[in-house]
Amino acid sequence: MKKDYIPFDYARAEMIAKRTKEFYDSNTPKTHIHIKSCRSLKMPKMPALNSFSFPNDMERYLDLRAERDYQFARFHENIQDDFIPSTSPWYGIAEHTAFLGGQVDFTETTTFQHQICAELEDFRNLTLDRNNLWIHLVADGIRYMNEKWSEYIPVRMRGADGPSDIANAVRGSDLFYDIYDEPEMLEELMDFCVKAVHFTTDLQREAATKILDGCINGFGLWMPGKCMGQISEDVSVMLSPDVYEESFLPALKACVDNTDCSMIHVHSLGHRMIPMIAALDKIRLMEISSDPNSPRAVDIFRQYQDVLKDKTVILAPTYKELTEMDDILSNSKVIVWYYAEDEEDIKRVLKLVEKYR
């Protein structure tokens, strides 16, 4: 490492983790705010993903990512919010399921995973292999970064698809026929997908930087104990609530029940699933993402505020939306993700939310 690198302030990180745990455990309405980025900050530009040759270039690529995140952590030192900066491997999105096989396409900015099984019964040939290339890139990538960089910046988990999204990667659009054509075999596939989620998240958690009794999840939130940091159930937006509840919700429940606490990422377009997902006790955090040409996440939360009263809800509002959120911030536990324009924008948003913290 360079001699001029400054060690990370872990005492401050532990203080934030402690008050975050108290925040999760409390029934009192309160707001935490995370300044996630600052547009005016000049950050090192990452080369295109498809310019690297993996796995040979893994360490060089991860060093570039860590260097970039380290620079933001240094900038963040004087921001008095509730965010712990961190770094992690990131290869697009395909790493969430590529460890199960199938073709992966690299582009400049992301990766795409092709359907893995042409026939449903083919999933029985899939294995959870610790030596898989993508498990190496993610889990060993986290371990590499932790060993080399954690003195200067914590290393977080990468995250994972939920069981339904993994099933969708395995079967592609054919999954929606499987619901009706092979319901018993689909149930068997979902059992496998639950194991696949734990396979990757357990390895990630084991390798990530530990802060107090927990670590930072793939979306940058500190979580305690045997946590399952963000899992996604994006496929739910394409299903009716009845179909999701019967064919896919049991797998999500089985997945999160084997954790101390879990966080789920949902989309505003799939808001009809929120009540049944919120009914799962181990899901303690829910992040609602806004979708194009759909209601804003802030408005979706208003619609389900009573259903979510016992959860910590994560939103990414604009500054204007924040100025109009007194009804939410005064009555709920909310983590605000804020993507700032500049330092003045950071100051004004911290001032705005101070009375709710």
DSSP 145-198: HHHHHTTTS-B----EE-HHHHHHHHHGGGHHHHHHH-HHHHHHHHHHHHHHHH
Q: Give the pLDDT band of residue 65 (cuts 50, 70, 90).
A: very high
Tell me the per-residue pLDDT of 106-129, one tens digit each, with 9 for 90 and over.
Answer: 999 999 999 999 999 999 999 999
Quote the pLDDT of residue 291.
85
How many angstroms separate the CA atoms of 160 and 152, rounded? 25
> Which token pair is 216?
């930072």
CATH code at position 197: 3.20.20.210
Number of domains in the chain: 1
Tell me the per-residue pLDDT of 192-242, one tens digit each, with 9 for 90 and over.
Answer: 999 999 999 999 999 999 999 999 999 999 999 999 988 999 999 899 999
b (16+ CB within 10 A) / e for 42-54: eeeeeeebeebeb
Does residue 20 fall inside a structural domain? yes
Does residue 1 fall inside a structural domain? no
Does residue 5 fall inside a structural domain? no
How many angstroms separate the CA atoms of 112 and 177, rounded? 22
User: Do the Cβ atoms of 270 and 244 come closer than 8 Å?
Assistant: no
> Which token pair is 356?
């709710």
Does residue 206 fall inside a structural domain? yes
DSSP helix/strand/coil, 100: helix
Domain hosting 43: range is 10-356
* Strand positions, DSSP E, the chain: 30-38, 104-106, 111-113, 160-161, 214-216, 222-224, 227-232, 261-267, 283-289, 312-315, 333-340
Q: Which of 18-22, 124-128, 290-294 has the lowest mean pLDDT?
A: 290-294
Does residue 4 fall inside a structural domain? no
Over residues 44-49, the mean pLDDT reads 94
Does residue 54 fall inside a structural domain? yes
Closest by alpha carbon to 90, among 60, 67, 115, 110? 110
Looking at residue 339, the DSSP 8-state letter turns out to be E
Closest by alpha carbon to 48, among 92, 86, 95? 92
Does residue 3 fall inside a structural domain? no
Over residues 184-190, the mean pLDDT reads 98
**Is the model more confident about 206 or about 294?**
206
Q: Give the pLDDT band of residue 3 (cuts 50, 70, 90).
A: low
Q: Is the pLDDT of residue 256 over 90?
A: yes
> Which token pair is 198?
């734990």
Residue with tokens 């500049």: 342
How many angstroms separate the CA atoms of 212 and 204, rounded? 17
Longest dimension (CA), the chain: 62
Q: Which residues contact 265 (CB under 8 A, 6 or more apart)?
A: 219, 230, 231, 232, 233, 234, 287, 289
Does residue 2 fall inside a structural domain? no
The average confidence (pLDDT) of the chain is 96
User: Quick one: how many helices (H) and strands (E) in the chain?
Assistant: 14, 11
DSSP 212-232: TTEEE-TTS-EEESSEEEEEE
Q: Give the pLDDT band of residue 98 (cuts 50, 70, 90).
A: very high
Phi, psi of 74 (to 5 degrees): -65, -45
